Amino acid sequence: MDYLPLFAQLKRRPCLVVGGGEVAWRKTRMLLKVGAAVTLVAPEIDREIEEAQAQGKLTVLREAFRPEHLDGNMLAIAATDNALVNELVSTAADSRNILVNVVDDTPKCSFIVPSLVDRSPIIIAISSGGKAPVLARMLREKIETLVPQHIGKMAAMAGAFRDKLKARIPTLTGRRKFWEAAFSGRFADLVAAGKHQQAEQALEQLSGQITTQGEVALIGAGPGDPGLLTLRALQLMQQADVVLYDYLVAEPIMELCRRDAELVCVGKRASYHSVSQDDINRLLVEHAQAGKRVVRLKGGDPFMFGRGGEELQTLANAGVSFQVVPGITAAAGATAYAGIPLTHRDHAQTALFITGHLKKEQDTLEWATLARAQQTLVIYMGLMKSAHIQSQLLAHGRSPETPVAVIENGTRPEQKVFTGQLNNLPSLAEQAASPALIVVGEVAALAGQLTWFGDNNVATDADPTQAPTAVVNFA
């Protein structure tokens, strides 16, 4: 992010505009609209500026710009058609630590003016950082059609009710629940219909109906691509007071959580546990019993090798309300992004999912079933046990030439796909890093033909059993 979006209070604050033409007047009008004390410097000025000066709306200095004009101002805008003057304004402002905007010259700007959707007091700002202003304008036009005009009135009425609500609902979490219910319920409908008195009554009624009971949402975040989140998952993440998340949840997904939510990493890695399962269960119960809305965010799907069921049992025993939002499991997401169909009429009529996170002495898997031909075997958390998996499959009849794939960071920009045969599975696993998924079966040979995600394609031989190991890097 090149620029920090800010909404500045400029009422009665001194601001300088350099330039006397149409663009300078447009920028001046913007500053006057928010109550800034504007001084405009230019040897020649347009008629609109003269009229505004005569009405006492701004101060005009009919002279050439000098660096001293900046002294005492909070910000400056250079809007002349002389590049040398604009550069002088920029340089002089920077030397005085004054924010400056040079129209249509982003490198000389220390602040930029975004495109605005005005539903005061709701203001939506769109900026491309000066890279694509036409795109920003097009986005503004799109948003203008999506944001109804009554939003501003609704915000103003909400602001007038805030102090009364604070006296009735003392907790921050309770007030958040109130406003979420108000803005999506009868109050919003009444404001849209212009029935403002009835809308105020609806707020009064609703303020006595909000419960302060906490709850937990167990959410599957999917394999990594934020675009694979469900709408319900995004809604609950935006409402959460506390988010307990695993290390497998991708950073772009974490960025979609409510900004002021408490984020608690309870991630686990092979051979390393940052937080025990008992402690995770305790945190879920404690936060919910404190009246908070808790999101338990897990990579993939929470019921697929994720111990989500155990966590819900703890909540049920403690009498805590909960809900579950499924996620796209890695077996479905990562294989799809790698161009590997789980089933195929010619290659696999069955797909089996297992976890490789097991101890050799406790291996109770039905390897004879797992080793059958013409089926797809997907192994979660199998990198460290790849040699054991290989030996068991070979011992129970799977051909050493069976195609395999190891998918690292599936669905993410840094996704890598390592393809080969069962007889070299351990060497493939050594090249990959966690999180990774192992796919064993004839469908793995289709990765080269069906690849679509990222910039690179996979070259495969006509005979997949003779194909050398390939590495596909989608970073």
Residue 41 has pLDDT above 80, yes or no: yes
Cα–Cα dist 438/211, whole Å: 46
pLDDT single digits (tens) 345-385: 999 999 999 998 765 566 789 999 999 999 999 999 999 99
Which of 12, 409, 474, 21 shows the shortest CA–CA distance to 224? 409
pLDDT single digits (tens) 160-173: 999 999 999 988 88
- For residue 249, what is the DSSP state? S
Residues in Cβ contact with 323 at an 8 Å cutoff, skipping those fewer than 6 apart: 215, 216, 217, 218
Contact in structure between 89 and 100 (CB atoms under 8 Å): yes
Q: Report the pLDDT value the prediction gives residue 472, as an integer from 0 to 100.
A: 39
Amino acid letter, residue 364: T
Q: What is the mean pLDDT of residues 39-64?
A: 97
Q: Average pLDDT, whole number, for the chain?
A: 91
Residues in Cβ contact with 225 at an 8 Å cutoff, skipping those fewer than 6 apart: 250, 333, 337, 411, 412
What is the H or E stretch that residue 198 is in? Answer: helix 196-206
Q: Report the pLDDT value the prediction gives residue 458, as an integer from 0 to 100.
A: 43
Q: What is the mean pLDDT of residues 34-52?
A: 97
Task: Using only the alpha carbons of the chain, give its radius of gyration.
Answer: 30
> Which tokens is 200 given?
């105020």
Please confirm, yes or no, whether 2 is among the known catalytic residues. Answer: no
Q: Report the pLDDT value the prediction gives residue 210, as an integer from 0 to 100.
A: 83
Cα–Cα dist 133/110, whole Å: 17
Residue 272 has pLDDT above 70, yes or no: no
Residue ranges of alpha helices (H) inside 290-436 are: 308-317, 330-337, 367-370, 386-395, 425-431
User: Would you state the torsion angle of the CA atoms of residues 421, 423, 426, 432, taken in this order, to the nearest 10 degrees?
Assistant: -10
- Is the omega angle on the peptide bond into residue 400 within 30 degrees of 0, that is, cis? no
Cα–Cα dist 39/312, whole Å: 63
> Which tokens is 90 given?
């920029």
Contact in structure between 93 and 100 (CB atoms under 8 Å): yes
Q: Report the pLDDT value the prediction gives residue 455, as an integer from 0 to 100.
A: 67
Provide the CA 468 distance to its chain's centre, in angstroms. Answer: 38
Q: Report the pLDDT value the prediction gives residue 61, as an integer from 0 to 100.
A: 97
pLDDT single digits (tens) 133-182: 889 989 999 999 999 999 999 999 999 999 999 999 988 888 988 999 99
- For residue 463, what is the DSSP state? S
Report for 268-272, 276-280, 452-456, 469-473: range of highest mean pLDDT: 276-280
Pairing of strands 272-273, 268-269: antiparallel
Pairing of strands 242-245, 262-265: parallel
Q: What is the mean pLDDT of residues 210-225?
A: 92
Please confirm, yes or no, whether 46 is among the known catalytic residues. Answer: no
Residues in Cβ contact with 222 at an 8 Å cutoff, skipping those fewer than 6 apart: 228, 229, 253, 299, 300, 327, 328, 333, 411
Q: What is the mean pLDDT of residues 420-430?
A: 96
Query: Active-site residue among 108, 225, 241, 246?
Result: 246
